[in-house]
């Protein structure tokens, strides 16, 4: 199957800084973006992180921008509000009834377990953590986080990163599983959509970050790494398929990466603009080891 993903691949040389990390040192990140265009704005949810031992993923920010580059904060949600040891990628979506939903990836205290919770609101400035609902709890053997959601033909499609928990030393491994829903709250799993390839750059794990349905099938962008040592420095790859539940990685090397430090370029998101263009957002490793959130505009 041939799908040209080049139009959506990051090119850091064409990018602009959207959100800088609060501190300029390794382990301090602004990233894991999820963006939506609507009402004349681009709404962006992203995660702020400190190093392990200093709070990890401590805050999710919801912001908006008129130009896609300069953002004003609408609200913040801290890990304490979510009863979470850490927060990872949020995911922001409009609902069919004109409201908004924010999905939050939450680490369970004292474990390697993750779960996904959801909050509904009338607008992106109105999310209240006290109104959260657990929608993907995982189980004792599996942590689930980092959802990617596409609504199409009345069906909610979800790809989530799943981690094995039987051996804590192996819990960094990840595959992407696929699920569907009629309302975005109750989900039915349909198996593993994408997993690592032994001996390749993505052998240790694959995490889908963005999905496009095309006339030819499905194209997905994913984060991959070869080893546990590369955790937090995933690079971007491309996978395709005719079935959203069965994706196949393409190429023998990352499709996009940073030239700095560990090479991390991850959590790519794609936003369709009213004028027909596309804006890219992704987390990018800097020369000092910090991660920043960058954006590119494609006509």
pLDDT, residue 3, reads 65
Say how far apart CA 47 and CA 131 lie, in whole Å: 20
Does residue 101 contact residue 90 with C-beta atoms inside 8 Å? no
Nearest to 195 by CA among 225, 232, 215, 151: 225
* Count of Cβ atoms closer than 10 Å to residue 227 Cβ: 11
pLDDT at 5 over 90: no
Burial of residue 123 (CB within 10 Å: 0-12, 13-18, 19+) is middle
* Residue 7 confidence class, pLDDT cut points 50, 70, 90: confident
Buried-state track 36-69, b at ≥16 Cβ within 10 A, e below 16:
bbeeebbbbbbbbbbeeeeebbbbbbbbbbeebe
Q: What is the mean pLDDT of residues 234-238?
A: 98
Summarize pLDDT for 126-171 with one digit per residue, the tens: 999 999 999 999 999 999 999 999 999 999 999 999 999 999 999 9
């Amino acid at each position: 199957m041939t799908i040209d993903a080049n139009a959506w691949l990051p090119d850091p040389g064409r990018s602009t800084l959207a959100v800088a990390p609060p501190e300029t040192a390794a382990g301090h990140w602004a990233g894991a973006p999820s963006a939506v265009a609507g009402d004349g704005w681009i709404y962006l949810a992203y995660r702020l992180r400190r190093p392990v031992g200093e709070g990890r993923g401590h805050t999710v920010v919801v912001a908006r921008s008129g130009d896609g580059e300069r953002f004003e904060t609408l609200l913040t949600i801290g890990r304490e509000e979510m009863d979470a040891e850490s927060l990872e990628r949020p995911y922001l979506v409009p609902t069919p009834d004109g409201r908004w939903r924010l999905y939050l990836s939450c680490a369970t205290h004292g474990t390697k377990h993750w779960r996904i919770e959801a909050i509904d609101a009338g607008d992106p400035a109105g999310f209240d953590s006290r109104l959260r609902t657990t929608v993907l709890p995982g189980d004792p053997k599996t942590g689930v986080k980092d959802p990617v959601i596409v609504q199409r033909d009345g069906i909610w499609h979800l790809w989530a990163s799943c981690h094995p928990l039987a051996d804590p030393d192996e819990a960094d491994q990840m595959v992407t599983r696929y699920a569907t829903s009629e309302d975005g709250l109750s989900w039915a799993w349909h198996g593993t959509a994408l997993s690592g390839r032994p001996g390749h750059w993505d052998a240790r794990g694959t995490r889908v970050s963005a999905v496009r349905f095309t006339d030819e099938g499905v194209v997905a962008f994913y984060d991959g790494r070869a080893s546990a040592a590369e955790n937090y420095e995933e690079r971007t790859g491309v996978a395709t398929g005719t079935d959203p539940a069965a994706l196949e990685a393409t190429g023998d090397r990352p499709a996009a990466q940073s030239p700095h430090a560990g090479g991390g370029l991850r959590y790519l998101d794609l936003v369709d603009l009213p004028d027909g263009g596309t804006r890219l957002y992704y987390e990018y490793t800097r020369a000092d080891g910090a991660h920043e959130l960058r954006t590119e505009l494609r006509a």
